[in-house]
């Protein structure tokens, strides 16, 4: 049984200067409850149930699901080379060490595969060192291909972005290490090329349209802007204004790593259809939600203790549980007991998420 009063009491103490508003969804069997508290912006209108928020890295499971649809249909294969579709990433060189100069490399042992991309083991992604520590970090910044929060730094179009990324060596051998974020931007470019249409068009046609996810996309249409929450840093600084910010228009680079906005009900539709095995074949969902990493492959930072990584989402630490979070202030998990979704508009910082997330998941 869901206790709506208890859910409200979990969220309400956190609403104020730190978290202007939040929407939480809890589902247990056929019972679903959505609780909206606070405001769309500090001092603004109330937070509605259908508030639109930036889900950032919760984008990854969506593009992973789209990729697996194409695998189920025979358009893509998990383990075939991607050189034909991603020639910019063919014949890779790999840094001898993460701190090496860019020309201190060895050849890649094999081509990249879709499995490498879906499991974040392409050799691209975050470098776990202070910004600018290593030559490869400085080069990523200069080229505009460094991983980071969406909507902050302008990016070129997909083809030019991939061309720039392809001028850099890999951080590790294909399939060897889990590096966060960038592989899913690569996946977005790959899917557009494989499907012969833009990533937004592909997701609209194959995922959002069929599932009725009418408020999910890479930008917010003008008519929906009154339901779009203002984005904040933990100190209360506005980081994205709904009317003029990065999501008020179609992006030059639709980020498969973190570019989507959504609502609690839209996300529940995605979660439920995935759990029921009606978007993908059941055996495909099983692979997607099973740990694909060897014990020593995680970076030990982005994944919590006991968590593994499937195809585009985290697995565990509780048996049968999977989901993922968004660093701009969102979180989702599903297990055999049901589903939980928490959407806020306050981004995480180096300490992690706001305490409201801990309280929500402890109560869930």
Packed helices 182-195 and 158-165: angle between N→C axes, nearest 10 degrees: 130
Task: Quote the pLDDT of residue 277.
Answer: 79
Task: Quote the pLDDT of residue 286.
Answer: 95
Task: Quote the pLDDT of residue 49.
Answer: 97
Active site (annotated) includes residue 57: yes
Least Cα distance to 332 among 266, 257, 242, 233 occurs for 266
Task: Quote the pLDDT of residue 105.
Answer: 98
Task: Quote the pLDDT of residue 351.
Answer: 78
Under the banding of pLDDT at 50, 70 and 90, the label for residue 304 is: confident
What would the mean pLDDT of 272-279 be, rounded to a whole number?
Answer: 88
Q: In whole angstroms, what is the distance from residue 128 CA to residue 242 CA?
A: 32
Is the pLDDT score of 2 beyond 80?
no
Under the banding of pLDDT at 50, 70 and 90, the label for residue 363 is: confident
Q: Which CATH architecture has domain 4-59+217-363?
A: 3-Layer(aba) Sandwich (3.40)
Task: Quote the pLDDT of residue 18.
Answer: 83
Percent of the chain with pLDDT over 70: 99
Question: Residues 65-117: pLDDT tens digits?
Answer: 999 999 999 999 999 999 999 999 999 999 999 999 999 999 999 999 999 99
Is the pLDDT score of 17 beyond 80?
no
* Portions of the chain given CATH number 3.40.710.10: 4-59+217-363
Question: Residues 172-229: pLDDT tens digits?
Answer: 999 999 999 999 999 999 999 999 999 999 999 999 999 999 999 999 999 999 999 9
Question: Residues 292-302: pLDDT tens digits?
Answer: 999 888 877 88
What is the pTM (predicted TM-score) of this model?
0.96
Active-site residue (options: 57, 120, 271, 331): 57
Task: Quote the pLDDT of residue 299.
Answer: 75
Under the banding of pLDDT at 50, 70 and 90, the label for residue 350 is: confident
Percent of the chain with pLDDT over 90: 86
Under the banding of pLDDT at 50, 70 and 90, the label for residue 275 is: confident
Is the pLDDT score of 231 beyond 90?
yes
Task: Quote the pLDDT of residue 152.
Answer: 77
């Amino acid at each position: 049984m869901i206790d709506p009063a208890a859910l409200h009491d979990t969220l309400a103490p956190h609403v104020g200067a730190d978290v202007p508003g939040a929407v939480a969804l809890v589902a247990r069997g056929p019972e679903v409850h959505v609780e909206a508290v606070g405001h769309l912006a500090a001092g603004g209108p109330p937070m509605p149930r259908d508030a639109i928020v930036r889900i950032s890295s919760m984008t990854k499971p969506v593009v992973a699901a789209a990729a697996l649809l194409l695998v189920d249909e025979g358009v893509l294969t998990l383990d075939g080379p991607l050189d034909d579709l991603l020639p910019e990433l063919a014949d890779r060189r790999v840094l001898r060490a993460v701190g090496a100069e860019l020309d201190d490399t060895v050849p890649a042992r094999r081509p990249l595969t879709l499995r490498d991309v879906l499991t974040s083991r392409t050799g691209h992604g975050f470098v776990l060192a202070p910004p600018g520590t290593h030559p490869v970090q400085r080069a990523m910044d200069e080229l505009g291909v460094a991983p980071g929060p969406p909507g902050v730094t302008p990016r070129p179009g997909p083809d030019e972005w991939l061309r720039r990324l392809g001028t850099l060596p890999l951080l590790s051998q294909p399939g060897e290490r889990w590096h966060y974020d960038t592989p899913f931007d690569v996946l977005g470019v790959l899917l557009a090329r494989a499907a012969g249409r833009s990533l937004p068009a592909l997701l609209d046609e194959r995922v959002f349209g069929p599932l009725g996810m009418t408020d999910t996309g890479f930008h917010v249409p003008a008519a929906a802007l009154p339901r779009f929450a203002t984005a904040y840093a933990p100190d209360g600084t506005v980081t994205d204004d709904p009317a003029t910010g990065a999501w008020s228009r179609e992006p030059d680079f639709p980020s498969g790593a973190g570019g989507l906005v959504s609502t609690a009900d839209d996300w529940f539709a995605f979660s439920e259809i995935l759990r029921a095995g009606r978007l993908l074949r059941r055996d495909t969902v099983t692979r997607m939600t099973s740990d694909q990493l060897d014990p020593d492959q995680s970076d030990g930072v982005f994944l919590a203790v006991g968590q593994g990584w499937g195809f585009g989402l985290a697995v565990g630490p509780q048996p049968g549980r999977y989901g993922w979070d968004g660093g701009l202030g969102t979180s989702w998990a599903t297990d055999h007991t049901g589903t939980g979704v928490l959407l806020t508009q306050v981004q995480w910082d180096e300490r992690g998420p706001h305490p409201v997330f801990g309280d929500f998941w402890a109560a869930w």
